[in-house]
């Protein structure tokens, strides 16, 4: 019975200290107790130098499993540190599904060599797996399924399993197929052990089980697992031929990655981004997003520039204008975030988007009026001008309404033209709220105050 | 074999149309084919009126399961629509764990009545479950564990299971306990069926399995399931007494909720927020966040106000100042998002935070210099003043460096004082980048240009 109470943070301190003091046997002690996924997380939590030193202490027999569990970007840094023979050794123990996940990250020469070193069957299997689209059920599927026939008795199934002596990890059910390999249903081990051995598989199997088409997108597979509370599911081709099974531990990773994606994308980051990536590549990747933002910032500046006269005559306008833009930006990003989550879950469609739009306009009107009043009072007290108060209140209401509309319309439009709203929604949104904010405030001031 | 190819969007359209045309039997057809979790998602995707009309068509026998699957906020709106008897009927089929999740959302009177209608055993179980902290293993655990003794043979275990005739859903393994109920290990059904029936449980059980302390936080349980690729795990008290088991389908929900939390919190939203909540409560909840932002916006305005003279003399300053603030805000939020994800995963600790800080400062310096150059050239071209170009370039570098530092330091500080960095990090960050941006640009201009 293992107690796993040590936190990652504590482990990190131990590893850090051990590496610093060159106590390599202590490093080995920490690693020895860990699952490959935990070693992967440790590696991802270390700066490049320490990461490589830890990686060199990871026993070769778990190298392959660890490589599987790290993010793509971290994986390439680890592979870069390995020589040809080490890579071949590390990956030789992996099954086809796992190997396929790593294969495309391998250096060309290593990949070719690996293909040559495989036997005919392994090579065919790998090539078949690689032929499926990335992010499809075919890539997630394992082929170590145990299939039985519907017309045999439970007794026969048990004899067969005892003859095999072992069943693959995480086998919770057997697949039932007909004479031609067509999928018929599932016999759970729970039913196998709890029923009279004389009964036939056909009487006890569940024929209503959801089977997954091999081309199904992995995010749809994940949704199916979540909504149907599945632990494993059969994968079939379009003729209904049983190809393999998908098990929930592979799906858990898909779920986590998809959930993280929106968070990272909204800041213009890749969800595979390595926290401890070196400065130069990180700076390069982020520069793109900053450049796009600079364009929109200049657009806002250009709008302000149209009102130089007003700013020249009334310096209070320059002082107060960022408030209008900022409140619109915050209100808009609240709406946008809700819409992005709703779109990711498939909850927003043409049938309810109008209702949502009206709701967000209603919220914007209420909050716009509330905070416009507060801002107006403060502005009047500060600058002693009733006009300024009225103008900023009006501009704030206008901008918050624009933010509410933009927060719904922008992600829907982006989605329709095939752009990920999480990735570009916020930059488009703040452009709208900045431009509308500055234009309404300075425009109204020009019309009514000068 | 069920084919589940219809998307949520398509189902929504069908439901919407059927409700609009009052074709209630068509509504029933759609619902009949769905799992409770799918009905829950449909309900969450409908505006209040349609939601209630759909809810009234959901067959009573699945009401309880559907209530379990909707978010807290949606659940209360559905419960509000049910009368006393309906609630009691809907929840009577739920097991203790599920009932505990809903129980605290029930109206006081219904809850009391329900407790009275239970038998002694049920009531005790429910009260025991409610005594565990929310978000702890005790709340996630199911008590329908099948326990066997280590000294019996597989044959005896099989006879026992056949005598029971059924084992609970999602049973993948049996728990092995000693005479006193102390947890000893796990016997997977896979091993049970694949081995010689004469063998003893003790020889085949896995004693190295991770057991979960009943008080463990649910997010730590989720991490354990992910890193150890678990499907189910035993729950024990601090004496090692077996209390129950946790199964992965309950963990999948925990994983998804935790991943979504950061995204929602960064926009000042609650992750339980109902996309179709009515206007007034939504406006109220979001008002808080807008009010906090207003305070910080006024702080930035106050900083600008200190430089009224400069703005009065040189209107170009008012035009260009939002660019400096905006670029700092974007750069800072890139760093902040990475840091928030790293903190959520436990990847950032005292041992590596200095390295991270240096990395982010390095990135900020590179991108600061790059974009400062671009901004300077554009500013010189626009306003024909070399001085303006130099000043804005310097201010931009200063603000981006401040953003890089703040993006790491703010979430670490917030975490240390026990505030969720995802919830408040971005408002503190933009305050810093606004204040530093305006102050450095207008301050340098005052010193060198006037």
Give the domain ranges of chain A: 8-140, 147-262, 279-448
C-alpha distance from A426 to closest chain B C-alpha (Å):
10
Q: How far apart are CA A261 and CA A419, in angstroms?
A: 14
Nearest residue of chain A to residue B255 (CA atoms):
A256
Nearest residue of chain B to residue A41 (CA atoms):
B347
Q: Is the pLDDT of residue A21 over 80?
A: yes
Are the beta carbons of B366 and A279 separated by less than 8 Å?
yes
- The beta-carbon neighbor of B318 closest among A253, A304, A371 is A304
- CATH class for domain B8-135? mainly alpha
Are the beta carbons of A252 and B248 separated by less than 8 Å?
yes
The residue among A12, A17, A62 whose CA lies nearest residue A37 is A62
- The beta-carbon neighbor of A194 closest among B5, B164, B293 is B164
A contacts of B438 (beta carbons < 8 Å): 322
Q: A384 — contact with chain B (CB < 8 Å)?
A: no
Q: How far apart are CA A60 and CA B212, in angstroms?
A: 30
- CATH class for domain A279-448? mainly alpha
Number of helical (H) and strand (E) elements in chain B, helices listed first = 22, 6
A contacts of B239 (beta carbons < 8 Å): none
Number of helical (H) and strand (E) elements in chain A, helices listed first = 22, 6
Residues 6+ apart with CB under 8 A from A284: none
Cα–Cα distances in Å, from A141 out to A137, B210, B295? 6, 26, 53
Q: A35 — contact with chain B (CB < 8 Å)?
A: yes
- CATH class for domain B147-263? alpha beta
Please state the rounded mean pLDDT for residues A421-450.
Answer: 94
Which helix (H) or strand (E) is B148 found in, with range? strand B147-149
Are the beta carbons of A13 and B349 separated by less than 8 Å?
yes
Strand partners, A183: A177
Q: Is the dihedral of CA B313, B319, B324, B329 positive or negative?
A: positive
The residue among B32, B275, B266, B278 whose CA lies nearest residue A422 is B266
Q: Evaluate whether B163 touches B154 at the Cβ level (below 8 Å).
A: no
B contacts of A331 (beta carbons < 8 Å): 286, 290
Q: Evaluate whether B231 touches A248 at the Cβ level (below 8 Å).
A: yes
Eight-state DSSP code of residue B46: S
Please state the rounded mean pLDDT for residues A59-76.
Answer: 91
- To test the contact with chain B by mutation, choose from A41, A251, A282, A306 the residue with the greatest count of B C-beta atoms within 10 A, namely A282
Q: Do domains B147-263 and B279-448 have the same CATH topology?
A: no
Q: Which of residues 172-201 of B touch A (CB under 8 A)?
A: 172, 183-185, 189-190, 192-196
Q: How far apart are CA B154 and CA A371, in angstroms?
A: 71
Nearest residue of chain A to residue B303 (CA atoms):
A319
Are the beta carbons of A294 and B337 separated by less than 8 Å?
no
Q: For residue B19, what pLDDT is reported? A: 87
Q: Which of residues 139-158 of A touch B (CB under 8 A)?
A: 158
A contacts of B256 (beta carbons < 8 Å): 226, 255, 259
Are the beta carbons of A167 and B16 separated by less than 8 Å?
no
Coil, strand or helix: which one is B178?
A: coil
Q: A386 — contact with chain B (CB < 8 Å)?
A: no
Q: For residue A114, what pLDDT is reported? A: 84
The residue among A56, A44, A46 whose CA lies nearest residue B351 is A46
Tens-place pLDDT, residues A114-172: 888 888 888 898 998 999 998 899 999 988 899 999 999 999 999 999 998 878 767 88
- The beta-carbon neighbor of A248 closest among B231, B294, B305 is B231
Helices B48-57, B36-44: inter-axial angle, 10-degree rounding: 160
Are the beta carbons of A311 and B311 separated by less than 8 Å?
yes
* pLDDT greater at residue A272 or residue B226: B226
Residues 6+ apart with CB under 8 A from A27: A15, A18, A19, A54, A57
Q: For residue B333, what pLDDT is reported? A: 95
Are the beta carbons of B341 and A211 separated by less than 8 Å?
no
Are the beta carbons of B366 and A334 separated by less than 8 Å?
no
Coil, strand or helix: which one is B234?
A: strand
Which helix (H) or strand (E) is A287 found in, with range? helix A279-305
- To test the contact with chain B by mutation, choose from A20, A326, A429 the residue with the greatest count of B C-beta atoms within 10 A, namely A326
- The beta-carbon neighbor of B260 closest among A259, A267, A317 is A259
Are the beta carbons of A165 and B195 separated by less than 8 Å?
yes
Q: For residue A3, what pLDDT is reported? A: 45
Nearest residue of chain B to residue A264 (CA atoms):
B337
Are the beta carbons of B193 and A158 separated by less than 8 Å?
yes
- The beta-carbon neighbor of A363 closest among B286, B315, B318 is B286
Token pair, residue B385, equals 């003043």
Q: For residue B5, what pLDDT is reported? A: 54
Q: For residue B393, what pLDDT is reported? A: 98
Fold exhibited by the domain A147-262: CBS-domain (3.10.580)
Please state which of the ranges A174-178, A383-387, B84-88, B314-318 shows the lowest mean pLDDT.
Answer: B84-88
Please state the rounded mean pLDDT for residues A98-125.
Answer: 86
Are the beta carbons of B319 and A308 separated by less than 8 Å?
yes
Are the beta carbons of B208 and A1 separated by less than 8 Å?
yes
A contacts of B345 (beta carbons < 8 Å): 8, 41, 45
- The beta-carbon neighbor of A290 closest among B45, B273, B330 is B330
Q: B266 — contact with chain A (CB < 8 Å)?
A: yes
Q: Evaluate whether A363 touches A404 at the Cβ level (below 8 Å).
A: yes
Are the beta carbons of B267 and A13 separated by less than 8 Å?
no
Tens-place pLDDT, residues A240-269: 999 999 999 889 888 888 878 888 888 888
Q: Is the pLDDT of residue A388 over 60?
A: yes
C-alpha distance from A51 to closest chain B C-alpha (Å):
11
Q: For residue B417, what pLDDT is reported? A: 94
- The beta-carbon neighbor of B207 closest among A1, A312, A341 is A1
Coil, strand or helix: which one is B179?
A: coil
- pLDDT lower than 50: segments of chain B: 1-4
Q: For residue B3, what pLDDT is reported? A: 45
Q: How far apart are CA B310 and CA A82, in angstroms?
A: 59
Eight-state DSSP code of residue A441: H
- The beta-carbon neighbor of A207 closest among B1, B7, B37 is B1
Rounded to the nearest integer, the mean pLDDT of chain A is 91
Q: How far apart are CA B429 and CA B416, in angstroms?
A: 16
- CATH, range A8-140: 1.25.60.10
B contacts of A438 (beta carbons < 8 Å): 322
Q: How far apart are CA A70 and CA B347, in angstroms?
A: 13
* pLDDT greater at residue B380 or residue A92: B380
Count of A–B CB contacts within 8 Å? 417
Sheet with A232-236: list strands edge to edge. Answer: A212-213, A232-236, A242-247
Nearest residue of chain B to residue A288 (CA atoms):
B367
Q: B26 — contact with chain A (CB < 8 Å)?
A: no
Q: For residue A5, what pLDDT is reported? A: 54
Please state which of the ranges A2-11, A144-153, A322-331 shows the lowest mean pLDDT.
Answer: A2-11
Q: A117 — contact with chain B (CB < 8 Å)?
A: no
Are the beta carbons of A1 and B320 separated by less than 8 Å?
no
Q: A331 — contact with chain B (CB < 8 Å)?
A: yes
Q: For residue A212, what pLDDT is reported? A: 94
The total number of residues shown for chain B amounts to 450
Q: For residue B322, what pLDDT is reported? A: 96
Nearest residue of chain A to residue B324 (CA atoms):
A297
Tens-place pLDDT, residues B157-183: 999 999 988 787 678 899 999 999 999
């Amino acid at each position: 019975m293992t107690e796993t109470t040590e936190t990652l943070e504590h482990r990190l301190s131990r590893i850090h200290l051990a590496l610093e003091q060159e106590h390599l046997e202590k490093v080995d002690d920490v690693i020895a107790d860990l699952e490959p996924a935990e070693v992967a997380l440790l590696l991802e939590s270390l700066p490049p130098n320490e990461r490589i030193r830890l990686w060199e202490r990871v026993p070769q027999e778990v190298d392959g499993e660890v490589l599987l569990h790290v993010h793509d970007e971290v994986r390439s840094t680890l592979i870069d540190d390995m020589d040809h023979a080490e890579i071949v050794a590390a990956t030789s123990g992996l099954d086809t599904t796992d190997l396929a996940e790593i294969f495309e990250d391998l250096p060309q020469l290593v990949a070719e060599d690996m293909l040559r070193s495989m036997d005919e069957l392994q090579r065919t299997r790998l090539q078949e797996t690689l032929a499926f689209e990335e992010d499809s059920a075919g890539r997630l599927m394992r082929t170590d399924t145990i299939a039985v026939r519907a017309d045999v008795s439970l007794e026969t199934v048990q004899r067969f399993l005892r003859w095999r002596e072992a069943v693959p990890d995480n086998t919770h059910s057997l697949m039932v197929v007909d004479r031609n390999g067509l999928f018929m249903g599932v016999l759970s081990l729970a039913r196998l052990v709890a029923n009279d051995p004389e009964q036939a598989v056909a009487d006890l199997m569940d024929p209503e089980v959801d089977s997954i088409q091999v081309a199904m997108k992995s995010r749809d597979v994940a949704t199916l697992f979540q909504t149907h509370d599945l632990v494993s599911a059969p994968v079939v081709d379009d003729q209904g031929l049983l190809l393999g099974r998908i098990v929930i531990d592979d799906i858990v990773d898909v779920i986590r990655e998809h959930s993280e994606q929106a968070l990272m994308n909204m800041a213009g980051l890749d969800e595979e981004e390595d926290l401890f990536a070196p400065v130069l590549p990180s700076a390069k990747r982020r520069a793109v997003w900053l450049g796009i933002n600079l364009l929109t910032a200049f657009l806002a500046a250009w709008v302000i520039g149209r009102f130089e006269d007003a700013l020249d005559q009334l310096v209070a306008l320059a002082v107060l204008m960022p408030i209008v833009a900022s409140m619109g930006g915050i209100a808009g990003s609240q709406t946008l975030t809700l819409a992005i989550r709703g779109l990711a879950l498939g909850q927003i469609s043409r049938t309810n988007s109008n209702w949502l739009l009206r709701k967000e306009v209603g919220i914007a009107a209420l909050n716009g009026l509330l905070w416009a009043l507060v801002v107006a009072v403060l502005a009047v007290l500060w600058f002693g001008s009733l006009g300024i108060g009225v103008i900023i209140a009006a501009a704030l209401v206008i901008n918050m309404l624009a933010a509410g509309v933009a927060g719904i319309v922008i992600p829907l439009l982006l989605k329709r033209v095939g752009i990920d709203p999480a990735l570009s929604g916020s930059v488009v949104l703040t452009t709208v709220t900045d431009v509308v904010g500055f234009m309404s405030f300075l425009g109204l001031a020009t019309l009514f105050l000068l």
